[in-house]
Chain A
Amino acid sequence: MDDRGTRGRAFQKEWDADAASVERFQAGDAEAFEALVRSREREVYRTALRILGSEDDAMDASQETFIRAYRSLGSFRNEASFKTWVIGICINVCRNKLASSSEQMKRRSTGLTKENAEDGEEMESTFRDTSPDPASAALGSELKQALARALTKLSPEHREIIVLRDIQDLDYDEVGAILQCPEGTVKSRLSRARQALREALEGFWP
């Protein structure tokens, strides 16, 4: 109860600070945006890192997220929190990146398969990434490495909701606001995502 109260007060404090910075920015103080970046850059980067699975991609996604936020902040209303708003932008950026990289992968794979039809099986395996990504390799524990790998195996939809709820520790309503779906949908989607994660963590789950 105390923890929830402390968290609520901290959340309110962060909300107020963000809202003040947003107002300053909208009033013409461009430097106020730096305060907003400083307050939310870690969450954005971590979200992008866990969804995209690569530090470079996470950095690119974070940059794009804040650039988009900078361009759209003029029309932002403080009805929602800046945090959920900017993480929502990050989720969209990550989706776009995943979609474009998947498209590139498909095109590259198709081209190579045409050239080397007899080695098609070989080619497929070349692009099937089985090695641990650098981000998970840097993790200390074996579990964390396994979790990082398992996350990459999830569908983007499941990965998003696991990242938002279990990694970023956002409330159901915040997750619902970001993914633009009601709480019931969040819960059912989360249940399916956790089952998928459990399946991906075969060796660690009873």
Chain B
Amino acid sequence: MTCQEFREMIDRDGAPTTGEANAHLHDCPSCAEFVETWQEVRRGLHELGEEEPPPFLHTRLMAHVREAAEADSRKKEAWFFGLKKIWAGPLLVLFLGMLLGGYGLMQVLKPRPVTAPVQTPPTVLQQEDRQAAGKSQPRKEESPFQEGAPKENDKQANAASSPQNLGSSEAGALSKGDFSPPAPAVSGGVSPGPALEEEKKRERGDSIFGNAPAGEPAPSEPYQPLANSTGTIQGTGDAAPGRASVPKDKAVARSQASSMESSLGTAPDSLARSGDEPSEVVCTLSPLSGSGPFITLQLPAGAAPPSGGIWTVHVPQEGLPRVQDAVGKPVMAAPLATLTAILRPLRVPPGSYKLKRIS
């Protein structure tokens, strides 16, 4: 081993680590002196490392650490509150937006009550529209009493309920040939049997809406708007226990009928309750000649012909219908108003009809 190699070993390992290096150390006085000096230097370096730090070192260090910790927590707090300040407004707006959006979405997705699918039922067929029977033509304005209909429709309906407007609106609707017969209360066709059965059920107190909750039309009821028309009829008479299921319609109908009757000068209740007759009777409306609908109606007794009697109903293109009794005398105002209120939603085509009381 050379002196260079030996000194490199000392530099690298700090001491002779092999037998050869130890032999060289033994034989080489220069390298022995080198190692001795190196050991002295290492002792000096060790001593440098054992120098005592200042006595306040720990106190100062801990003071700075605590200060830094407090600064950190203040910074975190400041960041948090800063964030709150900066983002409070946008977050609030976002939250409100989400709230409103969610509400709107719920409103959109909410199952709506069945909206007046004005269908021509197979039992009520107009002679003219027989070919179009079975086609469904939803017309919102057809049933102003329809629950869930837009307010505009209500307004329109109220406006149409006035004597001035009734004729023109009816005329418009009738000229289109639209006709929405009421299923439960109004049955059409040659045989009035099912309608009579329905009426008998109703008289027994059965609700035509089955298990539908009060105040809400049964969603599965196909002729719901017509059922509402029934409510109109019922509203003008005494309320039966089973008929309390359509209070809204009843109220609307009552207000409609009363507004009409007030314009004609007589209160309807006096008619409905007059005499010992039953409060409601079943009548049929059929065309005097030619084709036309055959409708079974449930009417207040006061707005129907006397038992076995027949009235003639003239439905003009425009204006109010005219009603004449068997001898051709115009029927007094109150029954006319009630009849008008009942016939209007049915959209009876213009023409002359025979109103016959069958019960």
Task: Specify which of B11, B37, B48 is in contact with A190 (CB 8 Å cutoff).
Answer: B11
Mostly, the B contact residues are helix
CA distance A34 to B60 in the complex (A): 12
- In the assembled complex, A206 has its CB within 8 A of some CB on chain B: yes
State which residues 130-159 of A face B: CB under 8 Å.
135, 139, 141, 143-144, 147-148, 151
Q: Is the CB of A195 within 8 A of B58?
A: no
CA distance A141 to B47 in the complex (A): 10
- In the assembled complex, B201 has its CB within 8 A of some CB on chain A: no
Task: Specify which of A38, A50, A147, A192 is in contact with B41 (CB 8 Å cutoff).
Answer: A147
Encoded as 1 (CB less than 8 Å from any A CB) or 0, chain B from 50 to 84 comes to 11011001101110110011001000000000000
- In the assembled complex, B152 has its CB within 8 A of some CB on chain A: no
Which residues on the A side are within 8 Å of B49 (C-beta)?
Answer: 46, 50, 163, 167-169
CA distance A148 to B30 in the complex (A): 26
- In the assembled complex, A45 has its CB within 8 A of some CB on chain B: yes
Q: Is the CB of B33 within 8 A of A206?
A: yes
Nearest CB on A from B34, distance (A): 6
Q: Is the CB of A70 within 8 A of B69?
A: yes
Q: Is the CB of A204 within 8 A of B11?
A: no
Q: Is the CB of A169 within 8 A of B46?
A: yes
* Extra inter-chain contacts (13) besides given A34-B62, A167-B46, A198-B11, CB under 8 Å: A30-B69, A42-B53, A46-B49, A46-B51, A63-B64, A144-B44, A147-B44, A163-B49, A166-B42, A166-B46, A167-B49, A187-B13, A204-B41
- In the assembled complex, B8 has its CB within 8 A of some CB on chain A: yes
20 residue pairs A–B, Cβ–Cβ below 8 Å = A30-B69, A37-B62, A42-B57, A46-B49, A46-B50, A50-B48, A59-B57, A62-B57, A63-B65, A66-B61, A66-B65, A139-B51, A144-B44, A144-B47, A190-B11, A190-B12, A194-B10, A201-B41, A204-B37, A206-B37
- In the assembled complex, A188 has its CB within 8 A of some CB on chain B: yes
Q: Is the CB of B45 within 8 A of A162?
A: yes
